[in-house]
Structure 1
């Protein structure tokens, strides 16, 4: 069928409210999707005829270049095959020691702030976390010597993929950490529960390792709920490079597709009446037990272009929260102003300020 641009429309207070599938224009034609069935179809779609929009390179090229995040077609496929294997579970295990060392530096920095300010330290959470495998650069260099590169030169392939690895492994996990600390500070019962688990798993051991971290089930639930409520990348975008059929919807060439994660992640029809409430307990039986469909939860994107660094990001967050909770008690500063701001990423407009006390 042709695109049902206005799938349904109601009147609320004299204002037209569009449904979960509609077309609008913002310089070019766009299809807004929060219809779960169509999200499922996009997730299953594997043709290279559905890619990323050109504006990511044209307008944000200085930041993102033409690397894995923005490329399309055969060059994207080559980049994916080059980079994704370096971010798998076994590689992440090798990164844990470096993550813990980085987290220890943060802990020591906070301790100095508290010692200088007295019992409570006011910490503005703007730190950035992120790490990559030691041999990632070598892999990218080797990828520049073989496979499909056009329209990139070898130098562009190297530089742009380094940009994307740095940006993807730096900003979204840092924002997730910021939002997560805000939520833990705002919900002391979950902070205490997660801390208790961390201390029980560690059993007095000083150095975290992969096996210990993998046992922290409560912390995993907390992180999943943080990413549900505040996904760093809140918009999944696609572009029809050719006319494509997604499920029973015919999408003309040149039409963009926007999936707004906040609408999907906070839909009461999918998550229940407490969809806007911080409740990690919903993930006790995993994603499939938390909502009506696993495709309603896509903090790392969806389909063939799902973030290859999701395992690394989850481990980074687990390490960071475990180290902080085992050393500090956190609460919200009275100076904190809650104001999520959606731009390229979903970030706190005024930062996050916490009261931090050593345990």
Structure 2
């Protein structure tokens, strides 16, 4: 019996060791080898990049470069965190991508506008060449979609809605959603946008009255977020923000919880479990996801009971469109309404509020552009209140918004994954490669925009985007190709409305409390908020 027991233990140990060896061979043979083969295909085309290590790829390099930059930022008197005491041209020219994504800038300077790198077993292609981005913009293939490893991480926030879906699922959803954001539909929402802005305007007027000085300091981020949330609530459900306040609060909390997991995009926390969320965080995310879905359905059901057949809002129209398409099935229709409600709330609320915040920051630094907008609004908008027909006449507002989105686009990246081998320009992109375009770097490329590319000059858009730069299709604040943001008309109109209303009532300058520190939290936002000093006209 002793001999038999000893033999069994030895055999068991052998099985474990053999299993471990088999796993290692599998990883190397079926994953690592494939990654190396893909990298070799790219290298053979003259594309260079940092040498990856086994299993980790270039993650250790990314960690090291990021740590060096963080140490430099945190060092006293280093001059990187700019405030109002620093000449504004200095921090406008501040290349915040070198702070937020320093590894990309490090490699771009070393390898050029196109290079390859890897995270773990995943091979990436950095593409910031304007001509290649133009090629990507013209591509209509469904074989170029959102990277699956990123969309999997975003599932709690976006479900399988249009921002996350790929292939035919995305195409079906786009067919249903796109029509509701055509300009003729968006123009009908202008009245709701103006109503939503009134609490913000009254709040600022009351703050000024309360100081007794004719001036007040305002942190605009939260107020603009409330305004944008109110617009989305009215458009989607026909009610004000306050009725859906709990939903927005939970969506914001979910976004912060997910983005607080450092290295969200590339897993820069390393291995040994750090690549994955802690069980506590995972439970928190799962709980928030369920609460959000429950709140959405509660609001949908409430709206169904309240609404007559002739006063339909966006969510009702989308739901009816999904239900009418019998090929989609009942379960798809249910998931469609929940997931796209989350998508519209996140994309339509968060990004627009951040773009408005950056707009006020830049206009605070350039009062001459406030005056130009004020004069224009007075000429084309009765009593300073825009309407659907006057919006196309706000040329100056349009130029300013385009320039803000060029310098501070809320979306940091255009990311795509090749689901099959595809051709982009003269590059053959192998199946499985993820392509990354860093939008702020692309938008500040002096070869495309000129030597003043870091300066705030809205007049560059005087003749439209087509005349503003050498490669206009490399201006991509709303993404590119067939996956161009469906809500771009909605966002542009909302920004025009709120800026016209604010500037017709107030003049403002940047507060000494403002600290210029762009931060990446799924979108690029002011890290410490935007503080301005306002004066009622």
Length-normalised TM-score, structure 1? 0.93
Match of 1:108 in 2: 202
* Distance in 2 of aligned mates of 1:344 and 1:248: 31
- Which of 159, 166, 170 is the equivalent residue of 2:345? 166
Match of 2:453 in 1: 275
* Equivalences for residues 306-317 of structure 1 within 5 A: 306-317=484-495
Once the two structures are TM-superposed, the CA of residue 5 in structure 1 deviates from its matched residue by: 6.3
3-state DSSP class of the match of 1:250?
strand
Structure 1 residue 264 and structure 2 residue 305: aligned?
no
Structure 1 residue 135 and structure 2 residue 176: aligned?
no
Once the two structures are TM-superposed, the CA of residue 7 in structure 1 deviates from its matched residue by: 5.6
Q: Would the alpha carbon gap of residues 147 and 80 (structure 1) be closer, same or farther in structure 2, given more than 3 Å must change? A: farther
More helix by share: 2
* Distance in 1 of aligned mates of 2:326 and 2:455: 47
Match of 1:75 in 2: 169
Deviates more, 1:109-118 or 1:291-300: 109-118
* Distance in 2 of aligned mates of 1:160 and 1:302: 22
Once the two structures are TM-superposed, the CA of residue 22 in structure 1 deviates from its matched residue by: 0.6
Match of 1:6 in 2: 47
* Distance in 2 of aligned mates of 1:193 and 1:18: 43
Q: CA RMSD in A?
A: 2.3
Q: Would the alpha carbon gap of residues 276 and 149 (structure 1) be closer, same or farther in structure 2, given more than 3 Å must change? A: farther
Match of 1:243 in 2: 421
- Which of 148, 168, 177 is the equivalent residue of 1:54? 148
Q: Would the alpha carbon gap of residues 307 and 140 (structure 1) be closer, same or farther in structure 2, given more than 3 Å must change? A: same
* Distance in 2 of aligned mates of 1:52 and 1:72: 7
* Distance in 1 of aligned mates of 2:363 and 2:339: 36
* Equivalences for residues 101-250 of structure 1 within 5 A: 101-118=195-212, 119-126=214-221, 127-128=224-225, 129=228, 130-131=231-232, 132=235, 135-145=313-323, 146=325, 149=328, 153-202=332-381, 204-205=382-383, 207-250=385-428
Q: Would the alpha carbon gap of residues 16 and 101 (structure 1) be closer, same or farther in structure 2, given more than 3 Å must change? A: closer
Residue pair 1:144, 1:157 contacting (<8 A) in 2 also: yes
Residue pair 2:364, 2:510 contacting (<8 A) in 1 also: yes
Match of 2:33 in 1: none
1:181-231 deviations in Å (ceiling 9; x for gaps): 0000011111111111111222x5364211122211111100000000010
Residue pair 2:384, 2:501 contacting (<8 A) in 1 also: no
Once the two structures are TM-superposed, the CA of residue 26 in structure 1 deviates from its matched residue by: 2.2
Once the two structures are TM-superposed, the CA of residue 248 in structure 1 deviates from its matched residue by: 2.5
Residue pair 1:5, 1:22 contacting (<8 A) in 2 also: no
* Distance in 2 of aligned mates of 1:93 and 1:55: 37
* Distance in 2 of aligned mates of 1:34 and 1:286: 22
Once the two structures are TM-superposed, the CA of residue 254 in structure 1 deviates from its matched residue by: 1.1
* Distance in 2 of aligned mates of 1:182 and 1:279: 14
* Distance in 2 of aligned mates of 1:346 and 1:81: 29
* Distance in 2 of aligned mates of 1:19 and 1:6: 9
Once the two structures are TM-superposed, the CA of residue 19 in structure 1 deviates from its matched residue by: 0.6
Once the two structures are TM-superposed, the CA of residue 357 in structure 1 deviates from its matched residue by: 0.6
3-state DSSP class of the match of 1:354?
strand
* Equivalences for residues 346-357 of structure 1 within 5 A: 346-357=524-535
* Equivalences for residues 14-53 of structure 1 within 5 A: 17-27=110-120, 28-53=122-147
Match of 1:344 in 2: 522
* Distance in 2 of aligned mates of 1:290 and 1:197: 21
Structure ID, larger Rg: 2
3-state DSSP class of the match of 1:210?
coil
* Distance in 2 of aligned mates of 1:2 and 1:294: 30
Q: Would the alpha carbon gap of residues 147 and 121 (structure 1) be closer, same or farther in structure 2, given more than 3 Å must change? A: farther
1:289-332 deviations in Å (ceiling 9; x for gaps): 11002112111111000001111111100000000000001110
More strand by share: 1
Residue pair 1:75, 1:148 contacting (<8 A) in 2 also: no
* Distance in 2 of aligned mates of 1:153 and 1:311: 27
* Distance in 1 of aligned mates of 2:491 and 2:376: 20
Residue segments in structure 2 that go unaligned for 5+ positions in a row: 1-39, 51-104, 237-311
The number of aligned residues is 355
